Structure formats: C-alpha cells, structure tokens
Amino acid sequence: MIKELCGGNEVIWNRWYKNAERTPDRDAIIHWVGGEAPLRLTFSAIIVAAEGLAATLVERDIGKGDVCAIIMRHNRVLYPLYLAMVCVGAIPAILAYPNPRLHPDKFRQGIEGMSLRSGLDWVFTERDLDETIRPSVEKQDSTIKGVHFPLEWKKGNGLNGEKLNNVVNVHRRMSSSDPLLLQHSSGTTGLQKAVLLSHRAVLNHVKNYGKAIELTENDKVVSWLPLYHDMGLIAAFHLPLAFGIPSVQIDPFEWVVVPSLLLEAVSRERGTISWLPNFAYNMMADKITDNELDGVNLESWRLVINCSEPVRHESHEKFLRRFQGYGLNPLAISSCYAMAETTFAATQAPPETPPATLALDRIELAKGKIKIAQDAAQARICVSSGKTIADCQVRIVDENRRDVVEGAIGEIAIKSMSMFEGYRNYPEKTVEALSDGWYYSGDYGFTKGGEHYVVGRKKDIIIVAGNNVYPEDVEDVVGKVEGIIPGRVVAFGEEDRELGSEQIAVIAESGISNKQRQRKLKLEVIKAGMSIDVSITKVYLVPPRWLIKSSAGKPSRRANKERILSTGEATATGWNIHDYAGTEAGYTKSSQIG
C-alpha cells in the first residue's frame, strides 16, 4: 500500500487506507459465486489491487473529474476497479448491465441519455458489449472518449515514478467537497437523472446511518443487490468499506435465478445485515424449497431491512413464517426509507424493534385520510419506515409546500447533511425537486409519534421489484406498435400481492376490433416492452377515444387506471400475458439480441 496517497483530508480513499492499515487481513469484499469457493479480498489486498489498476488508468489518461461508466457484471475486477477510479480522482458511475432482451438501440439510447446528463468520459465494460456500445462512442457528438475492457488488462508495473507523482498530486488537492460518485435514476430513453455525491456526503452518511443501525465491528453485510442502485452501492458497498467491516457480494443475476444463495451466504459467512426490496421477501418465502435450506442457520442475521419499495406487512409475516424455523430472529425484520438524493437513508426503524404498524381504513386512505380501521377486512396495515436518522430532517407538506398537521398525509420533504446538490446538468429537474435545501421526494406519507410512513407516490413512477420504471418509457415504445394509436397509451403499476411488488399494465387505444388481430396486437405490445427490458403483464386494448384526458390534454394515467380497474371494463377488455394463446406466423420466431 502506498502511504503517500493517504493524506490528512477527510476523503474516502483515506478512510479505506486507514481501514487497510488497521485490519489488513480482514475480509473487505467476499465475492460469492454459486457452487464455487468465494473470492476473498482483504482490506489491504483491495487497496493494493486498486493501486495497480490506478496505474493502468493513469497510463490511459484517465484522471481527475473524468466520469467513468462501469457496465460490468459482478466479478473479481469490479470492486478494485471502482476503488482505482476514486484513487485517481475520477468519478465512477455504475450502470445496469443489459438484460439480453433489451434491444441494442434502446440500450444505446440509455447510454446516450446518460452521456448527455452526466458527460460520460469513459466506459468500462466486458468484451461482449463492445459491438453494442461502440456506435454510441463513435457518434459525432458523443462525450465518450473510449471503451476499456479491464478484465483483459495485464498486470502492469504498478503505481510508481511519474504515474505515482501524478496521483499523489491529485490526492494533495482532493477535498471532502469534491465529487465522489454518480448515481443514475433508472429509465431507458434518456429520462435518467444523475445524482452527484461528494466524499463528505457519503462519509457523513456512513457515520449517521451506521449509528441508526448500531453498526459495530462485528457486523458483516450480505447483499445480492445491484451496485447501480443506491441500496446496493451505498448501503451494501460503501458503508461496510468505509466502516471497515466485510461485505459479501452476490451477483444479482445469480440471486434472481437461485434466491437461496443469499441465505446460504448469510448462514456460511455468519452475515448480520442485509437490505432487501419488498418483493425479495415474497420471492424467498415462496420459491425456496426445503431441500435448499438444508443446513441453513440464520441466527446471525440481526437486521433484514426492507427498503426501496413500499413496505408490505404481509411480506414480513410471510418471510418470518417461512424462516423462523431456520433461526431467523423476528426482531431482525426492519425497514428504512431511502433515496439516492440523500445519499441513501432518511429514516430507519430502530434495531431489535419490530417496525411500528398501523391498521388504517383502506377507503379513507385512498382519499388521502388517516383513520384507524374499524373493520379488519377493510384495513391496510401500514408499516413504518422508522425514525429520522441523525443530521436529517423530514417534513410532511401540502401542495404549497407548507407543513401539514401531524397524522395528515402529504408529500415527504427531506433535508440532510448528506444531500445531493442537484441533478447533474439538469437544472429544470433540480428546481422542481430542490428548494431552500429541502428535497421534495414526490412520495406521499405521514408522521405519527415520530414514525414515518410512506403510503404512495405523487409521481407516476412504477416500482417493479425495486426497479424504477418510468411510464413514459413504456408508453413511448408501445405507442410505436403498429395498430396502436400513437400517443393514446397509458402505463401504470398494478399491485401484485403474490409477488409483493407492482407489475406493469398498459391501456392502449386501437381501431382493431377483430379478436384474432387483437391477440396478435397484444403480443406485439408485450414484445415492445421486452425490447426495453420491461415486462408488461397486462394489456388492455380499448377503442379510440376511450382514454380520459387530463386538463393538459394528455391521457391521464391515474384516471384511466381507476376506470379500467373499477368499472369492470378490465374483465371485458383486459388481457393478461398469462391468457395469451396464439401461434401466428411472424411472431413465433424469437430473435437473438447482442
């Protein structure tokens, strides 16, 4: 480890270095691969590997302030590469690795949208994606200077001589207010908002959130979360690295295929903390077989924190019922409310305490009112996302951004020491969301007895299994399907209780009334969704001029969702992917992508 790189300033590299000095042989990252021995990187080994990769970055003229997109699966190089970028003062931005169903054009559109907002300088990826990414780089107005394949890099001579001097100079000038990383909101057609976070924001968050979850030296994080998501990147990667505790990392592509991998890793590594989106509680409770649980012991798990989707009480109960017999402590179930704009968490349920719940009248709640349910059949159990963490404030405000009385529903506004400073190169979105140091989240909720409850969203964003999907993206692609009237489409989220998440439904106007042709058309709509890696599970075809318009003259998502779900028209016109029956020529052939 190179001592000259560690100065007195409060930047994240110094924290990592000090952790490596203090506990050089302790595991920092345990890269978990199903059926194989895990790859262990100690705190000193990851620093040494990062320094080596930093030398290659310097050789390739990658340096301070360069925005570096990482589009890679979880692998042995990913973690030290991220650290190496920080080492040379570059700004890492981990992006989602494309699913094979995502059409290359749509993937490129996403990259180009990000490039527009973030000013991407370099892309680090795997050889398989070269052909897909290259056209975005070669475009005339592209900000991307080049593509690199770090998995193919040969071990160099390390960071020394001129290269070392170069990096030492960068470190001398580094300050805690310098940008550390970029996170992107999801979206596939350029709607992404880039959140730039400083060293100070992340380090403050580690301190304050660490306190909220009573993090100790004995903790060990276990995660399958993608690192392009704030929950994966901040909670499961930055937090343990900065605090000096191990983090077991499972590739999300592997976890979703074999969900028991998480429990196996917790059991074998004696993991103590995990964060999960709500659907994961259902998926693990419903899909993991007894055989897969042979020998699994979950006693070490002290916190299983539900975050990034609305927290559902039924999911917690189901999870507990399934795994209590395997040592899961009921008091481990926890919750938090978090977003990239505040680095991560704003609220957290206290450890060793079940999240507070309130049984509210479902009908009154739909009207925006809080009333304790008199009839259990009409109750919606709302789960608290906990109390405000240190150096963070939460208000509930009305449409004029004035505080509402306690217990009333309003928009959740947050002010935090770990706040972002605005969306990068997106002033109009920054002005909408950020005012007088308060971030207006677009989420609806209420506060009762210091506990914060999140109950809905002002924005139409759909959250499917923890991933944000913009209805605009879906409407755009469906509106281009031949037979659908352009601009006459709405997409919205429909609750799927079995999955414990939302699924995507679409209402589209079409002049086609022949049943057989409608079936073909519906499948084309599904395929259009697949091309942007979105699973549309319900398609409602409606006749022209069926959709209700908003005052702005555009089809209203909310009004049309209510109409289709409440009037019984869903039954008359609706179509579920599971009801498809058809083998018409022309769409029976699946095409290979990428």
Partner 1 sequence: MITQELKQVILKVLRLDDWDIKDETLAAHVPGWDSLNHVNVILAIEKHFCVRFKPIEILKLKNIGDLQRLVSSKLEKAG
In the numeric block, the tokens 């001589």 are attached to 161
The neighbouring-strand residues paired with 381 are 359
Q: Is residue 100 close enough to count as binding partner 1 by CB under 8 A?
A: yes
Q: Under the criterion CB under 8 A, does residue 579 sit at the interface with partner 1?
A: yes
- Minimum separation from the CB atom of position 99 to partner 1 (A): 6
| Contact pick of 212, 419, 530, 542 for partner 1 (by CB under 8 A) | 530
Asked if residue 577 binds partner 1 (CB under 8 A), the reply is yes
Q: Give the shortest CB-549-to-partner 1 separation in angstroms.
A: 31
* Closer by beta carbon to partner 1, 35 or else 511: 35
Cα 566 to chain center, whole Å?
A: 31
DSSP state of 384: B
Q: Which of residues 360 and 525 has its CB atom nearest to partner 1 in the complex?
A: 525
Which of 297, 329, 535, 556 is in the footprint of partner 1 by CB under 8 A? 535
Q: How far apart are CA 459 and CA 439, in angstroms?
A: 14
Per-residue binding string, partner 1, 382-401, x by CB under 8 A, is --------------------
Question: Are 348 and 211 within 8 A, CB to CB?
Answer: no
Binding piece for partner 1, criterion CB under 8 A, among 58-66, 194-202, 314-322, 519-527? 519-527
Q: How far is the CB of 554 from partner 1 (least distance, A)?
A: 29
Q: Considering only CA atoms, which of 279, 246, 416 is closest in space to residue 344?
A: 416
User: Could you identify the residue written with the tokens 């059949």?
Assistant: 377
Name the residue nearer to partner 1 (CB basis): 256 or 363. Answer: 256
Q: How far apart are CA 52 and CA 57, in angstroms?
A: 9
- 94 contributes a contact to partner 1 by CB under 8 A: no
* Entry field: residues in the chain: 594
Taking contact as CB under 8 A, which single stretch among the options 52-60, 88-96, 438-446, 578-586 is the one that binds partner 1? 578-586
Of positions 68, 526, 542, 564, contacts partner 1 by CB under 8 A: 526
What does the alpha-carbon distance between residue 447 and residue 451 come to, in Å, rounded to a whole number?
6
Contact status: 578 vs partner 1 (CB under 8 A):
yes
Among 10, 21, 126, 254, interactor with partner 1 by CB under 8 A: 254
Q: Which stretch binds partner 1 (CB under 8 A): 234-242, 332-340, 473-481, 574-582?
A: 574-582
- 129 vs 414, beta carbon nearer partner 1: 129
Site residues for partner 1, 451-490, by CB under 8 A, read 465
Between 253 and 487, CB nearer to partner 1? 253
Strands 27-32 and 39-42: antiparallel
CB of 538 to partner 1, least distance (A): 12
Residue 494 within binding range of partner 1, rule CB under 8 A: no
Per-residue 3-state assignment (H helix, E strand, C coil) for 124-164: EECHHHHHHHHHHHHCCCCCCCEEECHHHCCCCCCCCHHHH
Which residue among 30, 147, 412, 523 contacts partner 1 (CB under 8 A)?
523
Residue 442 has φ and ψ, to the nearest 5°, of 80, 0
Residue pair 28/4 in contact (Cβ under 8 Å)? The answer is: no
Structure tokens at 27: 């595991």
Among 96, 234, 261, 328, interactor with partner 1 by CB under 8 A: 261
Residue 541 Cβ vs partner 1, minimum distance, rounded to whole Å: 16
Rounded to a whole number of angstroms, the minimum distance from the CB of residue 540 to partner 1 is 17
CA angle 93, 94, 96 (to 5 degrees): 135
Q: Which stretch binds partner 1 (CB under 8 A): 9-17, 121-129, 284-292, 560-568?
A: 284-292
- Residue 128 makes contact with partner 1 by CB under 8 A: no
Read off the amino acid at residue 4: E
Rg (CA), the chain: 24
Q: Which of 1, 39, 168, 258 binds partner 1 (CB under 8 A)?
A: 258
289 binds partner 1 (CB under 8 A): yes
Q: How many residues bind partner 1 (CB under 8 A)?
A: 43
Q: Look at strands 345-348 and 387-388 and give their pairing.
A: antiparallel
Among 140, 291, 513, 571, binds partner 1 (CB under 8 A): 291
When asked if residue 591 is in the footprint of partner 1 (CB under 8 A), the reply is yes
Q: What count of other Cβ atoms lies within 10 Å of the Cβ of residue 429?
A: 17
User: Is 99 among the residues that bind partner 1 (CB under 8 A)?
Assistant: yes
Token pair 């080994």 is at which residue?
Answer: 45
If residue 565 lies in a helix (H) or strand (E), which one and from where to where? helix 557-566
* Residue 258 CB, nearest approach to partner 1 (Å): 4
Q: How far apart are CA 436 and CA 101, in angstroms?
A: 43
How many angstroms separate the Cα of 551 from the Cα of each of 86, 97, 542, 545, 559?
48, 39, 21, 15, 12
User: Which residue in 34, 63, 354, 442 binds partner 1 (CB under 8 A)?
Assistant: 34
Q: Which of 12, 276, 283, 484 is the binder for partner 1 (CB under 8 A)? A: 283
Q: Is 260 in the site for partner 1 (CB under 8 A)?
A: yes
Q: Which is nearer to partner 1, 56 or 467 (CB)?
A: 467
Using DSSP, state whether 206 is helix, strand or coil: helix
- DSSP class of 4: G
- Minimum distance from residue 243 beta carbon to partner 1 (Å): 30
How many helices (H) does the chain have, and how many strands (E)?
19, 28
159 versus 532: smaller Cβ distance to partner 1: 532
- Note whether 592 binds partner 1 by CB under 8 A: yes
Per CB under 8 A, 593 contacts partner 1:
yes
User: Of 577, 441, 477, nearest to 188 (Cα)?
Assistant: 477
Residue 532 within binding range of partner 1, rule CB under 8 A: no
Among 257, 366, 372, 431, binds partner 1 (CB under 8 A): 257
Rounded to the nearest angstrom, the gap between the alpha carbon of residue 3 and the centroid of all alpha carbons in its chain is 35
SS3 257: helix
Residue in this structure with the two tokens 């699924």, named with its chain if needed: 503
Residue 132 near partner 1 by CB under 8 A? no
Beta-sheet strands, E only, within 548-590 = 574-576
Q: Does 37 sit near partner 1 (CB under 8 A)?
A: no
- Cβ count within 10 A of residue 348: 29
Among 128, 403, 435, 580, binds partner 1 (CB under 8 A): 580
Q: What is the DSSP string of 329-360?
A: -GGGEEEEEE-GGGSSEEEEPPTTSPPPEEEE
Residues of this chain that bind partner 1 (CB under 8 A) = 34-36, 99-101, 253-254, 256-261, 264, 279, 283, 287, 289, 291-292, 465, 499, 523, 526-527, 530, 535, 537, 576-583, 588-593
